[in-house]
Amino acid sequence: MATAVTTMRQVDDFLALKRLAVVGVSRDPKHFSYVLWQELRQRGYEAIPVNPNTTELDGQRCHARVQDIQPPVQGVLVMTPPSATGLVVRDCIDACIGHVWLHKGAGGGPGAVDPAAVKLAQEHGIELVVGQCPYMFLPGTPFFHGVHGALRKLTGGYPKSAPAAPGAQS
């Protein structure tokens, strides 16, 4: 089973990207994936929806697969069931995407995390954020997301700073 430890550098690097695909955006405006996609858009991200079951969301073209997006995105936020994550990671490899975030929220369950997909991404040098929710890292998010982040810190599930490189000066 592949494991991945996410560092704050990986989180920060991903959130510094401005052109992102959000794979698994629901057509339901009340669904968490739709709300997060809208939040990213409101924060100035060019967040492009990916859902093979529709061609448009909120007046924006929706793509069936990541590699259909032109020009290509810089990163991909995956909000699919784990059973679909491997295909999404393969699509990211085909589209030469170097940053992928496998979402997991506070509700328990695996979120989009699939161990085989994590291993595949690692084998292809993709920078991964695994098992985190972007809301915990976006400034000024609602109270609940701050509590979620605090609980993750208490339980050891919050990303740590990357260790210093050998021989690096403090």
Distance CA 128, CA 106 (A): 19
Task: State pTM to two decimals.
Answer: 0.85
The dihedral formed by the CA atoms of 29, 32, 35 and 38, expressed in degrees to the nearest 10 = -110
47 in any annotated domain: yes
84 in any annotated domain: yes
Query: Which of the residue ranges 41-55, 107-121, 153-167 has the most confident prediction, judged by mean pLDDT?
Result: 41-55
101 in any annotated domain: yes
146 in any annotated domain: yes
User: What pLDDT, in 10s, does the model give residues 60-115?
Assistant: 999 999 999 999 999 999 999 999 999 999 999 999 999 999 999 766 678 999 99
83 and 117 Cβ atoms separated by less than 8 Å:
no
**Total domain count for the chain?**
1
pLDDT of residue 49: 98
The whole domain housing 101 covers 8-155
Query: Which of the residue ranges 6-10, 64-68, 166-170 has the most confident prediction, judged by mean pLDDT?
Result: 64-68
Which comes out higher in pLDDT, residue 161 or 38?
38
Residues in CB range of 68: below 8 A, 6 or more apart: none
168 in any annotated domain: no
139 in any annotated domain: yes
CATH number at residue 18: 3.40.50.720
43 in any annotated domain: yes
3 in any annotated domain: no
pLDDT greater than 80 at residue 12: yes
